[in-house]
Amino acid sequence: MKKVMFVIFFTAFSLTSFVYAESYEYPFKNPELKVEDRIDDLLSRLTVEEKAWQLVMNTRGVERLEIPSFHWWNECLHGVARAGKATVFPQAIALASTWNTDLMNEIASAISDEARGKYNSDPAKNTQYRGLTMWSPTINIARDPRWGRTEETYGEDPYLTGCMGYSFITGLQGEHPKYLKVAATPKHFVANNIEAKRHSTRPFISERALREYYLPAFEKAITEAKAESIMSAYNGINNIPCSTNKWLLEGLLRYQWGFDGSVVTDVGVPGDLVQSHRIYGTPPETVEPMIEAGVNVIDDFRPDFPKYIIEAYEKGMVNDSQLDKALYPNLRTLFRLGFFDPPEAVPFSKISKSVVGCDKHISLARQAARESIVLLKNDKINGKPLLPVERSRVKSLAVLGTHATENYVGGYSGTPVGGDVSVLEGLKNGSGQSIKVKHVRSSIAMDDMKSIIPTSNYRPPTEEEGEHGLRAEYYPTPNFQGDPFTRTVRTVDFDWGSSSPDPMIPYDNFSAVYTGKLIPNQTGVHTFLTENIDDGVRLYIDGKLVLDRWQFQIGVVKSKVRLEAGEEYDLKLEYREDGGGAQVHLYWREPDVDPADILNNELQLAEKSDLVVVALGLDQRYEFEGRDKNTLTFPPEQLDFLKKVYEVNQNVVVVLQIGSPMAITWMDENIPAIVNMWYPGEQGGNGLADILFGKSSPSGKLPVTFFASDEQLLPWDDYEPQHGRTYMYFEGEPLYPFGYGLSYTDFAYSDINISKRYINEDDAVTVEFTLENTGSRDSAEVVQLYARNVESPVYQPKRKLKRFKKVNLNAGQSKTVSFELEISDLNYWDSKKKTFVVEPGEFEIMIGSSSANIELKSGLTVK
């Protein structure tokens, strides 16, 4: 009877599956078939021209097969970027400062939920910045703190970067056995960590440096996190461009690491190969070496690049087999995303746009801002630490500085959906009734008595309640022709250097239009000014041309307009880039503004306040994609202002918004409390208030070394960490070491125990110790395990991070903390044997609160 029932059931199931399969016109559209069979079917139906259009980032749909177009370029470094409103989490370097892999995973899952929610409800889905293939995270190592994109990274250590990258990638992609929520694309593979000449440099890097320093985070992203895609870098290594480096993309990535996903080039790589690297003469000549090396998605500024792929095919440079091999992973990614499947078959298609900026995500952004804050200094004043703010001693609090009202969130950001909370706003929110928080405008950077028009004075044309800024439209031509790339910007204060506002915009001969409402603070004659640049600028207010420097003019161009306080004026600013450097700034001088008077107002407020918070920092004028810092020296005008404040009141807390380390030696020597909040995301001000007012204890730790001066740095073109880069090899005295960060409580480390004193090549050991919160406040401590090879004849790191854990302890509580350590964690790359080896001999195991604050030591011997 059971056999009969099984036959009936099996027959019914088979019949149902057959009918289900028959309902699809093409087998590749049947979600019940194996992905491999679906790919083979689709490949067999595509023409050479259609295949060419599927090998670029902006694919063309195949109408006869009912396949829509698809855009590979989307961003989500710390929130869905460049696609309108989204929850903006702290910048990547800040997220790394949490040293909290669980939080990172939760944030990434929230980001991919928002990406899916926006995609599911967006009629423009599959266009740029609205799709599901995310070009994040950036897991290049920040080998030099002057690098302009340090803010996008997880710091200088390969192990920490690998762990944070793993959590971010797995959070993005989800855990469904069949479908991806989004496809992660770690970048830029490999050794892309300098902006100057990034399009042409091909440095020589030893294989040991590559294997031990530049590659481990990428290997973990591929072999453990199973990243669906990876981006090849603009630069080369060892004289070969990364996008044509067969050893890198085929030998290492696919054969050694088992990668089966898509390799996408950074945008414009074909042009670089011709114009910057100068290896190939024409665009078609770049096609074969890229495809042969292992590239699957060719990203170029030219929307008609497929014609060069077709030309290469027609000239015999590439054949059908090569095209199919290159296209195969791309199609598999689309199938994994459910691109060809009915929405009801894809579980992630049910995610609604209502998740964007939901209460849970805003709360998560605030937690991340709070946990990413690093307390660098907290001296005692009259016997007590200055922080947290003691309400019995502080009744008046002054908030001053360049970053008091402007919350710079960093590059690759969306438009904050939950309100962009500045330092001033956050401290007002958290101060309560007992503390009066006061502010006067900043006198800093008022060169020629001008200042950048604040975000708060702008409203975009399609504003929602509380939204500030302008709509920016960037055109790929100098005369506003073509399809613009549109986004909301905070203000008009851009210096792109030799780059452009968007990788899809050419570096020269582009144009932009900024539109919105201007709402003045004061009634009277306002003066508008522009920089002395070689490009064109025109300003219209209520349709009237009020400032015209469309043709180059020497000196500052000014125009005076009478405006009424609180009134709304239509503003339109046109910009034309003519070549060379690209920058556009719109300044104003409000009525009766005198910088000396404003400075005097600031100092008077500082002098009569119980506590002064001075918010200082950087922005894209100092560090950005396409721009490195020239120095670690803090902006002198900001430092001079801080010194003036300190002269009138020594109860000063400096709050830093920066994306990379700075040499803040004078601050460290003089200012009693220094708080680094990085670029803290939209909830930055609230997260800061949680820390300053003692709602939470700071727990962030530095993922980078803060050096004391430029003299402690190696030359830019030295890529060998063994020469003295990072905490692992630096022999000097840093200002703040890697892993450093203070708390409001104290922790005691004791009773280290290693399960085995002697180990062989197959062993693992357990390292245990006791951690106790000996202070009076609940807090978290990031415990760090470092290892050192004591006897190696080969030059080894002084110490190297191997494990870490964020441990929450109530006041007076203690816990046993344990780490599992594999013997492979003690290896190094043997340049002669071309493999990783573990040498017999003595190793030192160190437990500490930073790379320089080692609390416990023990040893083990490898037989």
Catalytic residues: 266
Nearest to 389 by CA among 444, 440, 434, 358: 434
At 675, which amino acid appears?
A: V
Contact indicator for 57, 388 with CB cutoff of 8 Å: no
Dist CA 645 CA 608 (whole Å):
11
> What DSSP letter does each residue of 786-799 carry, written as one string?
EEEESS-SS---S-
Question: In this structure, how many other beta carbons lie within 10 angstroms of the beta carbon of residue 599?
Answer: 18
Give the burial class of 503: count Cβ atoms within 10 A of its Cβ; 0-12 exposed, 13-18 middle, 19 or more buried. middle
Dist CA 368 CA 110 (whole Å):
12
Dist CA 286 CA 272 (whole Å):
10
Say if strands 183-184 and 133-134 run parallel, antiparallel, or are unpaired: parallel
Question: In this structure, how many other beta carbons lie within 10 angstroms of the beta carbon of residue 33?
Answer: 18
- Encode 329-348: b = buried (16+ Cβ within 10 Å), e = exposed: bbbbbbbbbbbbbeeeebeb
Dist CA 553 CA 548 (whole Å):
10
And the tokens for 115?
């990406």
Task: Give the chain's end-to-end CA distance (angstroms, integer).
Answer: 64
Dist CA 528 CA 546 (whole Å):
9
Question: In this structure, how many other beta carbons lie within 10 angstroms of the beta carbon of residue 774?
Answer: 13
- Encode 671-691: b = buried (16+ Cβ within 10 Å), e = exposed: bbbbbbbbbbbbbbbbbbbbb
Say if strands 569-576 and 536-541 run parallel, antiparallel, or are unpaired: antiparallel
And the tokens for 400?
């001053």
> What DSSP letter does each residue of 593-622 carry, written as one string?
--HHHHHHHHHHHHHHSSEEEEEEE--TTT
Dist CA 805 CA 371 (whole Å):
14
Dist CA 399 CA 699 (whole Å):
24
Give the burial class of 278: count Cβ atoms within 10 A of its Cβ; 0-12 exposed, 13-18 middle, 19 or more buried. exposed
Count Cα atoms within 13 angstroms, Cβ side, for 216: 22
DSSP state of 635: P
Count Cα atoms within 13 angstroms, Cβ side, for 32: 12
Beta bridge partners of 266: none
Question: In this structure, how many other beta carbons lie within 10 angstroms of the beta carbon of residue 750?
Answer: 11
Give the burial class of 806: count Cβ atoms within 10 A of its Cβ; 0-12 exposed, 13-18 middle, 19 or more buried. middle
Dist CA 357 CA 354 (whole Å):
8
Beta bridge partners of 808: 780
Contact indicator for 862, 838 with CB cutoff of 8 Å: yes
Tell me the residue ranges of DSSP E strands in 10-62.
Answer: none
Helix/strand/coil (H/E/C) assignment for every residue in 475-532 = ECCCCCCCCCEEEEECCCEEEEECCCCCCCCCCCCCEEEEEEEECCCCCEEEEEEECC
Residues 6+ apart with CB under 8 A from 767: 752, 753, 754, 755, 785, 803, 818, 819, 821, 845, 847, 858
**How many helices (H) does the chain have, and how many strands (E)?**
20, 39
